[in-house]
Structure 1
Amino acid sequence: MSTTSSLTSLPARRPASSTTPPSHHTGSPPTSFKNPWPSFSSTGLPTLFKTRFSSANKNFVPVPSSRETLVQVQTPDFAASKNGLKATWIGHASFLIETTKVEGAKRGMNILLDPVWSEQVGPYGLVGPVRFTPTPCTIDDLPEIDAVCISHDHYDHLDSDTLRKLVAKQHGHLRIFVGLGLKAVLVGLGVGIEAEQVTELDWWDGVKMEKDGLGSVELVCTPAQHQSGRAPFGVSAFWRTLWCSWIVKEPTDTGKRLFFAGDTGYCHVTNNSEPSHHDAPHPPCPAFSEIGELYGPFDLALLPIGCYSPRSVLSSQHSSPEDSISIHKNVKSKKSIGMHYGTFRGALSANYEPVIEPPARWKKAAEAEGFEWGQEIGLCDIGETVVV
């Protein structure tokens, strides 16, 4: 049974680099958005099409037919007795977060991050990447959901059919948090989302959500280096809504902190064989160090490690495993789990990146930096719950 919730804006905490108007806005008020850092380099449509359909440098490896070499799937135990900040991987970039249960409460606050249950992600559910690893449960198997945070509007992160089912499951009692410009997109999907259910935030804005009998949680919208756009044709359809990462913070001095990177690049590189940004001509994105300074250290970070090849085209927007090791350090995370792999093949990276490569590179990169595998850096099964 849903209980009453309320929202309160948090005091602004912005880095010294912030400007007025914000440097990631185009226009005032903004009509579109941009990545304001030298770490980003835009790739034009001709290059994208050439890369997609050219045979040069491709390395297509089929998805293994045996599940033994793929990400394992287990049935989640949402009622696990161990208390703490919990993150259950649903696959790709989808997680269920439950905050630490406060004294006297029946549970913590349940927050879904980029929920996607569909078998295919793309326009009208008819084109786009197809899921090759099943979800660990149905939407009806989920506990009561208090909030949904969405990092951006790409189909593999914002799925209309999943949202339709969530709204029905919650009988309309659902709060959704998004970046600027996405409220109209959500309402326009025709899945039962009303405008008053959606809260738009700019980078560095935050809210405190309180719910009777459960306590509260703080949600902060933070930068990412990516882009937006759902329409299949026309550059003008892109960049009109804001992409972001999210902080989930328990609002006490000793409360746990989680960082969800969503979908992000770290540094543009020009060489497809280059494994990391270390010798790249572009500096790394400064936003992650700013997030770490303002809100770190984090008890847990959920970082993307897949769909990053070819690097010359995707590095500005998708992190390699080596990039996310740097993000782990920049945000001052105590423990980071890899995600955004093992579920869908990216439409572009499918011909360049074997699906079993990201977790192997993630472990190799972690050990090369001296991190303890499974403690500071690790992976989890789909359906597994990580507790900190």
Structure 2
Amino acid sequence: MARLSVRSLSSRNLAPEKLPAHWNGNPPTSFKNPWPSFSKQHGLLDVFKIRFGNERNFVPVPSRDELVKVRKPTWGRESPIWQQEFKATWLGHAGWLVETACLAPTTEVAPSADSKEYRGIRILFDAVFSERTSPVEWFGPKRYTPTPCTLDELPEVDLVVISHNHYDHLDIATIAHVYKKSKLAGREIHFFAALGNKQWFLGAGLGILENEVSECDWWDSLNVDVEGVGSVKLTCTPAQHTSGRTPFDAGQTLWCSWVLEDLQSSKKLFFSGDTAYKATSAKTACPAFKQIGEVFGGFDLAMVPIGLYSPQWFMSNVHCCPEDSLEIHKDIRSRKTLGMHYGTVRGGLSAQYEDVREPPRRWQECCAKEGKWETECWLCDVGETVTAA
């Protein structure tokens, strides 16, 4: 069994604070977005207006041929140089399976592409395989695009990385399956999440051990080594969003984005999780993304959200519209950015306002307007594998 080790590194924060601005209390009992770009938290009156107001413009989900395509994943194994590539496979919504480049073969003849022993570190980001993004199976937002594979068909996973605890990003069924599969195979696995989330993993009744979970504050950085497979640096970075799994725990756990640095290929990946860029009522954009771009010097591959932003006056402080997503792409200095967080499940509020075909269309249009479409900014099919090359 390959040994998995996690070691803390120095914080990547260029301007550390005695009391972080996103903390409420010391130690923190909850968290907040510390920037003017968040503007304000909407109250119950705004929620009622959105849910039942006369501005609603419900558009039914169209037929499958008008939606994002779904293909059976190959995980990039068809490539003649798959061993050397840093790659990511979209699992729908904000879920990704990322695999780092493989270590150089120790023999003159490289193992065949179907060799289970020859691979990079596999990292699962925010994967959701359940039918509903809800605490129950019979109610709540239901996916309209299927997963590209079953959980049994998912390759073995080394690391599970979660951006925040909303049901469309932290799915207990997926976590349970991946953990059980690892234990039955005698493999080590490790979970990563932001502050306050560790207790969820330990208390979910899955048997997850305390030393199998790391929780991080913004700018905390870790070195992760999987013996004989590879090494990565993983850094928890800021995002403008919120958290909560019930009506009573909003903001009690931290939300984040993540940076992954592959020490084999020197490739860098940015995973935004769920984030906004700028509330429509705000005068300035969230400064965190330019800071991330400066600290890491740009990225080879990035995933940013482009959907579930309607109505914008209400959603823009926590979700990106495609035009804002393009600004994040530029701020973080990404060479290749993929749109995500669309085409899979409708939000409880945005379902009343947003045609599910609109986010990819707007993303393509705004990127093309600046000459970045399919030169820097892309879309992919659910189940498609994209490389950082």
The normalised TM-score by structure 2 is: 0.92
Residue 242 of structure 2 aligns to which amino acid in structure 1? Answer: Q
Aligned residue pairs: how many?
Answer: 369
RMSD: 1.3
Q: Deviations over 1:137-190 (max 9, x none)?
A: 111112210000000000000011111111111117320000000011122222
Counterpart CA distance in 2 for 1:224 and 1:3 is 33
Judged with a 3 Å threshold, the aligned counterparts in structure 2 of structure 1 residues 217 and 357 are, in CA distance, closer, same or farther, namely same
Alpha carbons 2:50, 2:56 under 8 Å: kept: no
SS of the aligned residue for 2:338 comes to strand
Q: Distance in 2 between matches of 1:251 and 1:44?
A: 45
CA distance in 1, matches of 2:342, 2:384: 15
1:220 matched to 2:235? The reply is yes
3-state SS of 1:217 partner: strand
Matched-pair contact (CA < 8 Å) for 2:230–2:263:
no
Supply the AA of the counterpart residue of 2:18.
T
Could you tell me the TM-score, scaled by structure 1's length?
Answer: 0.92
Give, in angstroms, the shift of residue 126 of structure 1.
Answer: 3.1
* Cα offsets for 1:31-56 (capped at 9, x unmatched): 100000000021112211221122x2
**Contact 1:297–1:334 under 8 Å retained in 2:** yes
Verify: 1:200 aligned to 2:215, yes or no.
yes
| Match of residue 65, structure 2, among 63, 68, 85 | 68
CA positional deviation for 1:303: 0.5
Aligned to 2:108: none
The structure 2 residue matched to 1:191, chosen from 200, 206, 225, is: 206
The one of 271, 276, 280 equivalent to 1:269 is 280
Between stretches 313-322 and 193-202, larger displacement belongs to 193-202
Please give the alpha-carbon distance, in whole angstroms, between the structure 2 residues aligned to 1:37 and 1:131.
33
Structure 2 unaligned spans of 5+: 106-116
Match of 2:52 in 1: 53
**CA apart distance, 1:106:** 1.1
Give the match for residue 157 of structure 2.
Answer: 145
1:249-260 aligned at under 5 Å gives the runs 249-251=261-263, 255-260=266-271
Q: 1:273: which partner in 2?
A: none
Matches within 5 A, 1:85-124: 85-104=86-105, 106-124=118-136
Q: Which residue of 1 aligns with 2:110?
A: none
The residue that corresponds to 2:42 in the other structure is 43
Inter-partner Cα distance in structure 2 for 1:23 and 1:176:
26
Residues 160 and 191 of structure 1 are in contact (CA less than 8 Å); yes or no, is this contact kept in structure 2?
A: no
Distance 1:215 1:171 in 2: 20
Partner secondary structure for residue 170 of structure 1: helix
In the other structure, the counterpart of 2:332 is 331
Is the 1:258–1:298 contact (alpha carbons within 8 Å) kept by the matching residues of 2?
yes
Q: Distance in 2 between matches of 1:44 and 1:191?
A: 35
- 1:305: Cα distance to partner? 0.2
Alignment of structure 1 residues 15-54 onto 2, 5 Å: 15-16=14-15, 18-40=16-38, 41-54=40-53
Shift of 1:80: 3.4
Deviation, 1:244, is 0.3
Which amino acid in the other structure matches residue 102 of structure 1? L
The 1-side partners of 2:252 and 2:297 are apart by: 30
Structure 1 match to 2:341: 340
Say if 1:296 and 1:332, in contact at 8 Å, map to a contact too.
yes
2:109 aligned residue:
none
> Is the 8 Å Cα contact of residues 296 and 333 (structure 1) preserved in structure 2?
no
Residue 374 of structure 1 is matched in structure 2 by 374
Separation in structure 1 between the aligned mates of residue 8 and residue 209 of structure 2, nearest angstrom: 20
User: What per-residue deviation string (whole Å, max 9, x for no partner) do you get for residues 184-241 of structure 1?
Assistant: 112222233222211001000011110111121111100000001101x33xx11110
1:105-136 deviations in Å (ceiling 9; x for gaps): 71110000001100111123332210100000
For 2:256, the aligned partner's letter is C
Gaps of 5+ in 1: 271-280
Structure 1 consecutive aligned stretches of length 4 or more whose deviation exceeds 4 Å: none
Structure 1 segment 272-283 matched on structure 2, within 5 A: 281-283=282-284
Residue 289 of structure 2 aligns to a residue in which SS?
Answer: helix
Q: Distance in 1 between matches of 2:139 and 2:208?
A: 24
Distance verdict in 2 for CA 1:80–1:205, change over 3 Å: farther
- Take 1:168 and 1:378, find their aligned partners in 2: how far apart are those partners? 35
Aligned partner letter, 1:47 = D
**For 2:88 and 2:6, how far apart are their aligned partners in 1?**
23
Q: Alpha-carbon deviations, 1:7-26, whole Å to 9, x = none?
A: 1112222133x421111011
Amino acid corresponding to residue 339 of structure 1 in structure 2: M
The reply to whether residue 385 of structure 1 matches residue 385 of structure 2 is: yes
Identity %, equivalent residues:
50
Aligned: 1:136 with 2:148:
yes
